[in-house]
Chains A and B, each alone.
Chain A
Amino acid sequence: MRAGPARAGSGRAGRVMSVCYCLAFFLLSQVLMEFLMPLGLVYQHRVEFEILKDNPADIDCVLDLIKRTIEREGISEYFIILGDSVAYSGPGGPEQSVSRYMNDIARERGLPPVFNLAVPAAQAGDFYTLLLKLEEKGISTDNVIINLIYGGFVKRDPRPPVVYWFYRDLEKLDPEAYEAVRLHLDQAQAAETGEKPRKINEQIQEFLQYRVFPFVPVLKYRDFIRDAIFRKAGVPRTTGDARPWYEKPYLPGLLKQAEYQRLFSPEPVVLDDSNPNVFFLKKIAELQRGKNLFVFMSPVNSELMKEEVSRPGYRKNLSEINAFMDQLARDYSFHYRDLSDAIPQELFSDHLHLVSGGYQKLAEILWEWVETANQGQWERRE
């Protein structure tokens, strides 16, 4: 390669100019990213769990872009769905999620759209924290649907922590509530990691993640940008086994494991503030008082889990939980329904999760419930 005669400005001035241009392009890219980032990059009918599980701080990207979409499209009324893997609609893909079907119905019947912020393994403390975050971001929490599971009320060993994903946000947004459950969270963390103190690099990473990266768009959105590049390049992604439960011969054996059995524990449940789940449900009820809150107990595959759900302890606990939730709903004026038996067994994918048709059915049930409760509130859109 022949270098040829040098161009003017290739000396010191040229170097300075290159750095200036680099800075200018970088800053321009950041401005463009912040204003042009599409919602579809971070949210497709639901959050991107494969990304969020490695970096829960990424929920801020989702919330920011939902907020912008709401403002740009002038959406005045909408529903927020909070919950765990049931509302998230695992193990199928986003196109088979309850929120996708709810939005299909909403479009047909002129109902408000829904945004699904459910995250697998999320607990009551996460729902509460997300409500605080939504308020902080200026996203309305006037219409909220939350899914609960029986397993959320049973004794923790101390896992799972009652704030599984968003404990750093809870610490910031409601330090009092965080302090109230801190011992439990520390114990759960110690059980998970073997009581290892956090390393300095983990602390630095966390500091950067929560205090620095949110202000630099490329760092804020990078997990989603990288994922989009991989998707575009055809890099394969892991997907769950979305077949119906009766086509999975391994399921009965798998569900005998302690972590699944705990979800149907017949041990007596404690339904006072010493139960961290109850503590946060009361906080949610208090926070949502006077708003349109719908809480439902998730459907259960009573055929697959016949042995577990027919235990007297389980039946008694479920009845007590329902009585407790009914009372809480009356005290704080929200809507509660037990949907344990609402879905036909053939529409389950496993013990709790549904196949595509199951989530479609759940979407219909939820809208019917919401429409009945809000008779005439929404004018049908043409």
Chain B
Amino acid sequence: MGFHTPEFFILLVLSFAVFSLARGKRLWVLAAFDALFYLYAGVLDFSLLAAASVISYLSGLGMTTRYRKVWYVLGVALNLLNLAFFKYYYFVLGNISKVLTVPESLWALRVVLPIGISFYTFQLIAYIVDVYKDRVEPARSFLEFWVFISFFGQVIAGPIMRADVFLPQVKRTEDYRFDLDRTKKGLLLLLVGLAKKVVIADTLAPFVDAFFSRGAGMSSVDVWIAAYLFGFQIYYDFSAYSDMALGVGKLFGFELTRNFNTPYVSQNPQEFWRRWHITLSTWVRDYLYIPMGGSRRGYVRGLVAVIVAMCISGLWHGASWTFLLWGLYHGVLSAVHRVWKTLTAGKIRSGGLVRALNVLGYLQLTMIGWVFFRVTDAKVLGPVLKKMLSFSDLSLGPHFREYVAVILVLYALHWVEHLAFENREQLLRWWQERIPSPVKGLVYAVVILGILVFTRPKENAFIYFQF
């Protein structure tokens, strides 16, 4: 159930109303609506989430006994197996079949990827590891644990919440008091997210599809346009979902972790990953990179750890060589940046012009990366990248100027969002205190009309739902 669909808004209004009224039973209400929300994806998907939750909950409790390590290994292993089976079955099978030249049909099962499995599996693994490392207390109440893992605001596409941040909030669910300011901020986030999704991301989708469907038939200029359009489509799509998740959280009194912070203003890989899919980046840092030794076991080993961690992060997105290559590309960029930083430490001044050039330069590298991510066939990737980087075919397709104008507007909008977020408190105060009510009313009405106009009858699922 997408956050931009009528059925979601029906569920949201209903759950919020019942939740507000059911004093003393709010956790039960939330748990029930979480279950209902996920059941919409299918009974099998729901059973799997329930089973993974029960196993992880028991694993947490088991770690308080003398079989601590057994429960830890069991909890992590079962969650990993669950993810590996459902997500990587076809990938592994396909590659083995190619190597052994055995037809896939001989041993193929009909495996459908359960929605949100990558997100909730990482959240569960983080919980088990944190309990094992004594960073958090294991959840005693399964009800609380269920809401922690299945909260419908974030179960499908994150943010990947940590137990030390979210479980205490869930425990305080019964203390919920209606707060107008928080609710207004929640509604604003819902509105902004909805606008990003239906007005920008869904409008870009058919153009991106049309470009990439031509594969290596695109000219060099087309590949750059396609990469830019997809770069903005995926940002506005995923950050829309994340904004809405935060908004839903606020309605129920939860502060979910922010997942995006205008990533295309980044100067380098380090900054980019602090701004793009933040909860995945920090998960990769805390549960992959640091356990692999991080930067504590030597300079070279640290570089290798970065590359390996980014490759795994790439594979997390999907079972395909193109995602692995995307991860590898960003891993190499991160490693090169580290080396560069070491070599130039204290030698380059960081003035405004340098910063602007860095941002522009890194933006191009990010857009090149999106080609790895968007191309579905690994065989096409090489020729497309060659076209992109060699500038061998500079023919301008029809509507070249319009596409460039759209890209510039989107980037300007990205900066507006960046500046608005940086100055959000003053802006909100200015909006609340200085703008006359008729103007506010007009703006609200225009935004609502805009969202209603741009919502399509045939919904485009959020891109990150597939992961």
Instruction: Say whether A36 faces chain B, with CB atoms less than 8 Å apart.
Output: no
Whether B434 pairs with A225 at a CB distance below 8 angstroms is no
Whether B453 pairs with A4 at a CB distance below 8 angstroms is no
Whether B426 pairs with A7 at a CB distance below 8 angstroms is no
Q: Per a CB cutoff under 8 Å, which of A20, A208, A222, A226 touches B441? A: A20
| Interfacial chain A residues near B448, Cβ < 8 Å | 22, 26
Q: How distant is the Cα of A235 from the Cα of B6 in the complex, in angstroms? A: 28
Whether B441 pairs with A3 at a CB distance below 8 angstroms is no
Instruction: State the total of A-B contacts with C-beta under 8 angstroms.
Output: 98
Q: How distant is the Cα of A18 from the Cα of B452 in the complex, in angstroms? A: 20
Instruction: Say whether A21 faces chain B, with CB atoms less than 8 Å apart.
Output: yes
Q: Per a CB cutoff under 8 Å, which of B1, B427, B452, B457 touches A1? A: B427
Output the nearest chain A residue to B457 by Cβ-Cβ distance. A55
Instruction: Say whether A74 faces chain B, with CB atoms less than 8 Å apart.
Output: no
Please report which residues of chain A, range 296-323, place their CB below 8 angstroms from some CB of chain B when the two chains form the complex: none
Q: Per a CB cutoff under 8 Å, which of B427, B433, B440, B454 touches A18? A: B440
Whether B434 pairs with A200 at a CB distance below 8 angstroms is no
Q: How distant is the Cα of A22 from the Cα of B449 in the complex, in angstroms? A: 11
Please report which residues of chain B, range 424-467, place their CB below 8 angstroms from some CB of chain A when the two chains form the complex: 426-427, 429-430, 432-434, 436-438, 440-442, 444-446, 448-449, 452-458
Q: Which size class do B's interface residues fall under? A: 35 or more
Whether A18 pairs with B449 at a CB distance below 8 angstroms is no
| Interfacial chain B residues near A229, Cβ < 8 Å | 453
Whether B452 pairs with A218 at a CB distance below 8 angstroms is yes
| Interfacial chain A residues near B433, Cβ < 8 Å | 3-7, 10
Instruction: Say whether A366 faces chain B, with CB atoms less than 8 Å apart.
Output: no
Instruction: Say whether B134 faces chain A, with CB atoms less than 8 Å apart.
Output: no
Shortest beta-carbon distance from B398 to chain A in Å: 7
Q: How distant is the Cα of A29 from the Cα of B452 in the complex, in angstroms? A: 13
Per-position 1/0 for A333-365, Cβ under 8 A of B: 000000000000000000000000000000000
Whether B440 pairs with A3 at a CB distance below 8 angstroms is no
Instruction: Say whether A236 faces chain B, with CB atoms less than 8 Å apart.
Output: yes
Known contacts A7-B436, A204-B6, A218-B452; is A223 also within 8 Å of B457 by CB?
A: yes
Whether B445 pairs with A22 at a CB distance below 8 angstroms is yes
| Interfacial chain A residues near B437, Cβ < 8 Å | 9, 14, 17-18, 20-21
Whether A25 pairs with B434 at a CB distance below 8 angstroms is no
Output the nearest chain B residue to A208 by Cβ-Cβ distance. B6
Instruction: Say whether B7 faces chain A, with CB atoms less than 8 Å apart.
Output: yes
Whether B457 pairs with A54 at a CB distance below 8 angstroms is yes
Shortest beta-carbon distance from A234 to chain B in Å: 5
Q: Which size class do A's interface residues fall under? A: 35 or more
Instruction: Say whether A275 faces chain B, with CB atoms less than 8 Å apart.
Output: no
If over half of B's interface residues share one DSSP class (helix, strand or loop), that class is named, otherwise mixed; here it is helix
Whether A22 pairs with B423 at a CB distance below 8 angstroms is no
Whether B40 pairs with A226 at a CB distance below 8 angstroms is no
Output the nearest chain A residue to B438 by Cβ-Cβ distance. A21
Output the nearest chain B residue to A6 by Cβ-Cβ distance. B433
Q: How distant is the Cα of A164 from the Cα of B445 in the complex, in angstroms? A: 37
| Interfacial chain B residues near A219, Cβ < 8 Å | 452
| Interfacial chain B residues near A3, Cβ < 8 Å | 426, 429-430, 433-434
Please report which residues of chain B, range 262-320, place their CB below 8 angstroms from some CB of chain A when the two chains form the complex: none
Q: How distant is the Cα of A39 from the Cα of B1 in the complex, in angstroms? A: 36
Per-position 1/0 for A200-239, Cβ under 8 A of B: 1100110011000000001100110110011001111000
Whether B426 pairs with A1 at a CB distance below 8 angstroms is yes
Output the nearest chain A residue to B448 by Cβ-Cβ distance. A26
| Interfacial chain B residues near A7, Cβ < 8 Å | 433-434, 436
| Interfacial chain A residues near B427, Cβ < 8 Å | 1
| Interfacial chain B residues near A230, Cβ < 8 Å | 203
Shortest beta-carbon distance from B110 to chain A in Å: 14
Whether B449 pairs with A1 at a CB distance below 8 angstroms is no
Per-position 1/0 for B155-185, Cβ under 8 A of A: 0000000000000000000000000000000
Please report which residues of chain B, range 26-53, place their CB below 8 angstroms from some CB of chain A when the two chains form the complex: 40
Whether A24 pairs with B441 at a CB distance below 8 angstroms is yes
Instruction: Say whether B347 faces chain A, with CB atoms less than 8 Å apart.
Output: no
Q: Per a CB cutoff under 8 Å, which of B434, B445, B453, B458 touches A54? A: B458
Whether B457 pairs with A25 at a CB distance below 8 angstroms is no
Shortest beta-carbon distance from A48 to chain B in Å: 14
Q: How distant is the Cα of A6 from the Cα of B375 in the complex, in angstroms? A: 53
Known contacts A1-B426, A54-B458, A209-B457; is A25 also within 8 Å of B441 by CB?
A: yes
Q: How distant is the Cα of A344 from the Cα of B346 in the complex, in angstroms? A: 81
Whether A200 pairs with B40 at a CB distance below 8 angstroms is yes
Shortest beta-carbon distance from B38 to chain A in Å: 14
Q: How distant is the Cα of A4 from the Cα of B433 in the complex, in angstroms? A: 8
| Interfacial chain A residues near B441, Cβ < 8 Å | 17-25
Q: Per a CB cutoff under 8 Å, which of A2, A6, A29, A201 touches B1? A: A201
Q: How distant is the Cα of A204 from the Cα of B429 in the complex, in angstroms? A: 39
Whether A222 pairs with B444 at a CB distance below 8 angstroms is no
Q: How distant is the Cα of A222 from the Cα of B6 in the complex, in angstroms? A: 15
Output the nearest chain A residue to B397 by Cβ-Cβ distance. A236
Q: How distant is the Cα of A21 from the Cα of B445 in the complex, in angstroms? A: 8
Shortest beta-carbon distance from B297 to chain A in Å: 48
Q: Per a CB cutoff under 8 Å, which of A17, A18, A235 touches B402? A: A235
Whether A26 pairs with B423 at a CB distance below 8 angstroms is no
Q: Per a CB cutoff under 8 Å, which of B7, B398, B455 touches A200? A: B7
Whether B442 pairs with A25 at a CB distance below 8 angstroms is yes
| Interfacial chain A residues near B452, Cβ < 8 Å | 218-219, 222
Instruction: Say whether B5 faces chain A, with CB atoms less than 8 Å apart.
Output: yes
Q: How distant is the Cα of A244 from the Cα of B169 in the complex, in angstroms? A: 69
B426, B437, B445, B455: most-surrounded residue (chain A CB, <10 A) = B437
Shortest beta-carbon distance from A14 to chain B in Å: 5
Per-position 1/0 for B53-92, Cβ under 8 A of A: 0000000000000000000000000000000000000000
Shortest beta-carbon distance from A216 to chain B in Å: 8
| Interfacial chain A residues near B133, Cβ < 8 Å | none
Shortest beta-carbon distance from B14 to chain A in Å: 13
Instruction: Say whether B349 faces chain A, with CB atoms less than 8 Å apart.
Output: no
Q: How distant is the Cα of A11 from the Cα of B203 in the complex, in angstroms? A: 37
Shortest beta-carbon distance from B104 to chain A in Å: 21
Whether B434 pairs with A4 at a CB distance below 8 angstroms is yes
Output the nearest chain A residue to B453 by Cβ-Cβ distance. A222
| Interfacial chain B residues near A1, Cβ < 8 Å | 423, 426-427, 430
Please report which residues of chain A, range 122-143, place their CB below 8 angstroms from some CB of chain B when the two chains form the complex: none
Q: How distant is the Cα of A218 from the Cα of B451 in the complex, in angstroms? A: 10
| Interfacial chain A residues near B429, Cβ < 8 Å | 3
Output the nearest chain B residue to A218 by Cβ-Cβ distance. B452
Output the nearest chain B residue to A16 by Cβ-Cβ distance. B437
Whether A234 pairs with B445 at a CB distance below 8 angstroms is no
B6, B429, B453: most-surrounded residue (chain A CB, <10 A) = B453
| Interfacial chain B residues near A235, Cβ < 8 Å | 402
Known contacts A20-B441, A201-B7; is A236 also within 8 Å of B399 by CB?
A: yes
Please report which residues of chain A, range 275-305, place their CB below 8 angstroms from some CB of chain B when the two chains form the complex: none
| Interfacial chain B residues near A200, Cβ < 8 Å | 7, 40
Q: How distant is the Cα of A33 from the Cα of B7 in the complex, in angstroms? A: 26
| Interfacial chain A residues near B40, Cβ < 8 Å | 200-201
Please report which residues of chain B, range 382-415, place their CB below 8 angstroms from some CB of chain A when the two chains form the complex: 398-399, 402
- Listed by A's residue number, 5 A-B pairs whose Cβ atoms lie within 8 Å are A17-B441, A20-B437, A29-B449, A200-B7, A218-B449
**Other CB < 8 Å A-B pairs besides A4-B433, A22-B440, A25-B444, 5 of them?**
A14-B432, A21-B438, A200-B7, A222-B454, A225-B453
Closest 8 CB pairs of A and B: A21-B441, A25-B445, A17-B437, A6-B433, A22-B444, A22-B441, A18-B440, A3-B429
